[in-house]
Amino acid sequence: MSPELAFLQALNGISFGALLFILAAGLSLIFGMMDVVNLAHGAFYMLGAYVALSVVRTTGSFWVALVAVPLALGALGLVVEPLLLRRLRGRHLDQVLITVGVALVITDLIRLKPDWGAEVRTLPPPDALAGSIAILGNDYPVYRLFVIAFGVTLALSLAALHRRSRAGALIRAGVDDAQMLSALGVDTDRLFAVTYATGAALAGLAGVVAAPVLGLQPGMDVEALVLSLIVVVVGGLGTLGGAQVGAALVGPADTFGKVFVPQFALFFIFAIMALVLLLRPSGLLGRIRVIR
Amino acid sequence: MSGSTTTNELAKHRGYTYRLTRRQFLVASSAAALAACGPAATPSGAPATTSAAATAGKPLKLGILLPFTKVYAELGNSMKRSADLYIKSKGGKFANRTVPAPIYEDEANDPQVGLQKTQKFIDQDQVDVMLGIVATPIAYAIRNVVDSAKLIFIETNAGGNALTRTTTDCKPACKSKYIFRSSFSSWQISNPIGEYLASKKGVKEAFTFVSDYGFGTESQADFTAGLTKGGGKVTGTLKAPLGNNDFLPFVTQLKAQPTKDIYSFFSGTDAIGYIKAWNQLGLSAAGYKMNGAGFLTEQDVLKEVKEQAVGAITSLFWAVTLDNPENKAFTDLYQKEYNLLPDVFAVQQWDGMRAVDEALQKLGGDTSDKDRFIRALEDTSFKSPRGDFAFDKDTHNPIQDMYIREVKVVGGQAVNVISDKIARVQDPGK
């Protein structure tokens, strides 16, 4: 493999990794805070993508969708958490089950809506990012470079929020011991609702950014959920750093897996996950969690 | 995860029935549901489809098995629209048999589900004719059940070669006298274009890039044989997994190899992802040429990729632009009813329905004698929207023309324009 080709493939891998991080961030946030694997994550992602499709069709602007869709999904999260999850607090398995229910309802509603429906659809990237530019004398899609920039920016801003802001401090405290936080006078109900809404908004955001690359079709919810789960399991459950490391490893691994062993492309990343689980069951950056 | 304590609780309580908790109820009912999903207990020796009484005059029961959920849902919808329209256009009557609304079942793109639903058609619904099935693995999975139940089945999409061929030990499937196919075999859409490119277009070398599953592999092998027969050779092969999410790595590899003519088999989302990556990486500008089996640029793909597919050369037995009276009548009727252009899947289903209808005309509506019914189907030939349609009497695969099509922009829309025709293509199966 020529160095030039290796560089292009590395770029492909990094761009896919950035996409994976955007996909997994919301799942990781909710799990870290609430100890709930939000299996509606894929459905939120799918809904985000379809809402983006409608927004782009009516307003003609990708950028409007990029702002409006996370807000809409955040609002949905603000409804789902108090209405459904809060009643089951402390019963994690039941909470996970109810997120499956939410996912089934959302995906069926999407299927029933005639202009979303069961057909395969694509969301074109915004005009400014639609073309290609020359890198090492080869055409390279601008949108993929945007995805890299977007993913890195999102990772940095989430990390800054997490480490420096009051909300971040509350989240970190909540991850460590929600009961103690509540005893200190923090309204954990509100904190959980906001966390869940943020997670849903991030899923919606992923739907907008990923749609021009991965497309819209029935079954995209499951595909996105599986990819996100792999990323957070490899990186370490429930830590932001874990999602970053997971995505940075899985993206390029998937790409180079496709290049070197295309016949195993489909399960290459599953093999990585199995290996990580064998050697470090809590993920690369995972911590041993206290079972409450 | 901290769910371990509740799981232990669950395990502890399981089996105690003094008080049925919701959770136990869920466990118990899902176990019952699983048991119900198992293979039907009735052996399919003598179902009522072989009733001795003359059936003329009785309503004709059609069982149609299609995907209405998962990735192929839209194909199923299209084929259902076509079947309903055919019945409507005949005033709900084939010969002297009234045709009530067919019984539709969802195969959910799963061979096990397909098998259960086929059993239901046989045991419970006792249908006269079964049609449908999109994915080849499902068609292979139900082959033996249909064969032993002596149920006439018209395959209206799946193109796996083995379904209409004699194979060693019937693996992965083989022809059955009860099975007809109104669609195509993968050989028909892959091999002739290989020979055509080599002998007519002077393509001496090609590189193949296909979907890594049974059908893609079959298409790749058939194309290679065709190209070789025409005097060309395949310089290399690349395969991408079915439902591949990111095509950039693969297309980057394509561009890193020197052979300019690429032959591909992809459909649906994969085709869209592939064509987009092809454009983003500027393969056409670098002199690469996209060729493929027709599904690569069918309407579901074209309406999303639009002019990005311009220049692609594919072979298929139909195109919406095909100029003949039957196609015009069919597309007009379909468009009037649904305000949609028909697709190739609708044509396949339409011809399947037509074949049953024509056979019934010959039989005076009497479907009680299976062997007569089979002979009537074998003798069926008609003008289809795709051109002349007839079944190969040996294999029950259609004998049909293959059209060479090139994607061009006509009147602002990207469409498949027919540039050439390979007449009466017959699958080499025996």
**Candidate from B6, B253, B280 with C-beta closest to A139:** B280
- Please report, rounded to a whole number, the percentage of residues in chain A having pLDDT higher than 70: 98
Q: Does B105 touch chain A (CB under 8 A)?
A: no
Residue pointed to by tokens 């040429």: B289
B299 contact residues in A (CB cutoff 8 A): none
pLDDT tens-place string over residues B329-365? 999 999 999 998 999 999 999 999 999 999 999 999 9
**Res B73: pLDDT:** 84
SS3 A194: helix
Q: Which residue segments constitute the domains of chain B, with CATH numbers given?
A: 59-184+323-396 (3.40.50.2300), 187-316+403-425 (3.40.50.2300)
For chain A, say whether B36 makes contact (Cβ under 8 Å): no
Q: Higher pLDDT residue, B7 or B301? A: B301
Partner-chain contact A217 B269, CB within 8 Å:
yes
Q: Are strands B205-212 and B233-241 parallel, antiparallel or unpaired?
A: parallel
Verify cis geometry, omega within 30 degrees of 0, for the bond prior to B172: yes
> Nearest CB to A5: which of B250, B256, B281?
B256
What's the pTM? Answer: 0.85
Pairing mode of beta strands B179-181, B152-155: parallel
Q: Are B102 and B64 contacting, i.e. CB atoms less than 8 angstroms apart?
A: yes
- Calculate mean pLDDT across residues B263-283: 93
Give the minimum alpha-carbon distance from A3 to chain B in angstroms, rounded to a whole number.
Answer: 12
Quick one: pLDDT at residue B36? 45
Nearest Cα residue in chain A from B7: A93
Q: In chain A, what are the domain boundaries?
A: 3-117+143-217
Distance, first Cα to last Cα, chain B? 58
Highest mean pLDDT range out of A217-226, B5-14, B382-391? B382-391
- Better-predicted residue by pLDDT, B430 or B86: B86
pLDDT confidence band for B409 (50 / 70 / 90)? very high
Residues in chain B with CB shorter than 8 Å from the CB of A227 are: 245
Question: Under the phi-then-psi rule, with left for phi > 0, alpha for psi from -120 to 50, and beta for the rest, what region is B403?
Answer: beta
Strand (E) or helix (H) holding B237: strand B233-241
Specify the pLDDT at position B49.
Answer: 44
| Residue B245 near chain A (CB below 8 Å) | yes
Look up residue B332 and give its amino acid: D
pLDDT band at A90 (very low <50, low <70, confident <90, very high): confident
**Interface membership of B281 toward A (CB under 8 Å):** yes
- Chain A CB contacts of B75 under 8 Å are none
- CB atoms A9 and B69 under 8 Å: no
Which helix (H) or strand (E) is A277 found in, with range?
A: helix A265-279
Question: How many Cβ atoms from other residues are within 10 Å of residue A133's Cβ?
Answer: 10
User: SS in 3 state form for A138-176?
Assistant: EEEEHHHHHHHHHHHHHHHHHHHHHHHCHHHHHHHHHHH
CA-CA distance, A291 to B143, in Å (whole number)? Answer: 51
Q: Specify whether the CB–CB gap between A280 and A249 falls below 8 A.
A: no
User: Quick check: bond before A82 cis, omega within 30?
Assistant: no
Mark yes or no for CB contact B73/A262 under 8 Å. no
- pLDDT tens per residue across span A229-274: 999 999 987 788 889 999 999 999 999 999 998 888 778 889 989 9
Of residues B248, B243, B310, the one with CA closest to residue A141: B248
Residues of A in contact with B250 (CB under 8 A): 258, 262
CA distance A211 to chain B (A): 11
The beta-carbon neighbor of B252 closest among A8, A119, A263 is A8
The answer to whether the beta carbons of residues A269 and A253 sit under 8 Å apart is yes
Closest Cα in chain B, distance from residue A129 (Å): 11
**CA-CA distance, B208 to B200, in Å (whole number)?**
19
How large is the average pLDDT for residues A135-159?
Answer: 93
Q: For B101-121, what is the mean pLDDT?
A: 96
* Contact residues on chain B for A132, CB-CB shorter than 8 A: 280-282
Q: Give pLDDT tens digits for A31-81.
A: 888 888 899 999 999 999 999 999 999 999 999 999 999 999 999 999 999
Q: Whole-number mean pLDDT of chain A?
A: 90
Restricting to B residues 224-243, those with a Cβ less than 8 Å away from any Cβ of A are 238-243
pLDDT bucket at B186, cuts 50 / 70 / 90? very high
Interface test with B, best of A46, A93, A142 (most B CBs within 10 A): A93
Q: What is the mean pLDDT of residues A12-26?
A: 95
Q: What is the pLDDT of residues B158-185, one digit of tens each?
A: 999 999 999 999 989 999 999 999 999 9
A-proximal residues of B, 144-203, CB under 8 Å: none
Size of interface A-B (CB pairs under 8 A): 117
- Residue B411: CA atoms inside 13 Å, Cβ hemisphere, count? 4
Tally Cβ neighbours within 10 Å of residue B369: 15
Say what the pLDDT of residue A288 is.
56
Decide if pLDDT at A18 tops 80. yes
Question: Looking at the partner chain, which of A111, A120, A227 has a beta carbon nearest the beta carbon of B300?
Answer: A120
Angle (nearest 5°) at CA A24 between A60 and B273: 50
Average pLDDT value for residue range B268-287: 93
pLDDT at B3 over 80: no
Chain A positions in Cβ-Cβ contact with residue B68 (cut-off 8 Å): 118
Residue B359 DSSP symbol: H
Question: How far does B300 lie from chain A, in Å, by closest CA?
Answer: 7
User: Is B249 within 8 Å of A217 when comparing Cβ atoms?
Assistant: no
For residue B301, which residues of chain A lie inside 8 Å, CB to CB?
Answer: 120
As given in the structure block, the two tokens for residue B285 are 């500008």
**Furthest-apart CA atoms within chain B: distance in Å:** 80
Q: Is the model more confident about B72 or about B51?
A: B72
Residue B86 corresponds to which tokens in the numbers above? 């055919």
* A104 min Cα distance to partner chain B (Å): 12
Name the more confident of B215 and A74.
A74
Confidence band for B222, pLDDT divided at 50, 70 and 90: very high
Quick check: B5 and A144 CB within 8 A?
A: no
Which chain B residues contact residue A255 at CB under 8 A?
246, 248-249
Cα gap B225→B223, rounded to integer Å: 5
**How close is the nearest chain A Cα to the Cα of B348, in Å?**
19
Q: With CB atoms and an 8 Å threshold, state whether B2 touches A254.
A: no
All residues of chain A having their beta carbon less than 8 Å from the beta carbon of residue B5 are 291
Residue of A nearest to B212 (CA): A263
How many CA atoms are closer than 13 Å to the CA of B152, on its beta-carbon side?
A: 28
| Cα distance between the two ends of chain A | 51
Q: What is the pLDDT of residue A142?
A: 95
Question: Minimal CA–CA distance to B220: which of B211, B230, B231?
Answer: B211
Percent of chain A scoring above 90 in pLDDT: 60
**Is B70 in contact with A218 (Cβ distance < 8 A)?**
yes
Asked whether the beta carbons of residue B249 and residue A219 sit closer than 8 angstroms, the reply is no
Instruction: Tell me if chain A has a CB within 8 Å of the CB of B304.
Output: yes
**What is the pLDDT at residue A289?**
55
Are the CB atoms for A218 and A118 separated by under 8 Å? yes
Instruction: Identify the CA nearest to B257 among candidates B242, B273, B237, B239.
Output: B237
Q: Output the CA–CA distances (angstroms, integers) from residue A102 to A66, A77, A78, B377, in the order listed.
A: 23, 11, 14, 49
The three-state secondary structure class of A115 is coil
> What is the arithmetic mean of pLDDT over A101-126?
89
How many other CB atoms are there within 10 angstroms of residue B420's CB atom? 14
CA distance A91 to A98: 11
Contact yes or no for B3 and A117 at CB 8 A: no
Query: Hey, are the CB atoms on A144 and B280 less than 8 Å from each other?
Result: yes
Rounded mean pLDDT of B93-122?
Answer: 95
Looking at per-residue pLDDT, the higher value among B263 and A174 belongs to: B263
Interface residue of A56, A111, A122, A233 to substitute, partner B, most B CBs within 10 Å: A122
Q: How many helices (H) and strands (E) does chain A have?
A: 11, 2
With 70 as the cut, is the pLDDT of residue B240 above it? Answer: yes
How many residues would you count in chain A?
Answer: 292
pLDDT of the residue at B26: 52
**How far are the Cα atoms of A166, B3, B18 from residue B24, in angstroms, in the given order?**
43, 16, 11
Q: Which of B68, B70, B304 sits opposite A219 (nearest CB)?
A: B70
Please report, for residues B79, B176, B248, B313, the alpha-carbon distance to residue B400 in angstroms, rounded to integers and kept in the order given: 20, 20, 36, 19
Mutant choice from B276, B278, B299 vs A, greatest count of A C-beta within 10 A: B276
**C-alpha span between B279 and B275 (Å, rounded):** 6
Dist. CA B211–CA B237, nearest whole Å: 11
Task: Give chain B's mean pLDDT.
Answer: 88
Across the range B372-391, mean pLDDT stands at 97
Question: To the nearest whole angstrom, how far is the Cα of B367 from the nearest Cα of chain A?
Answer: 36
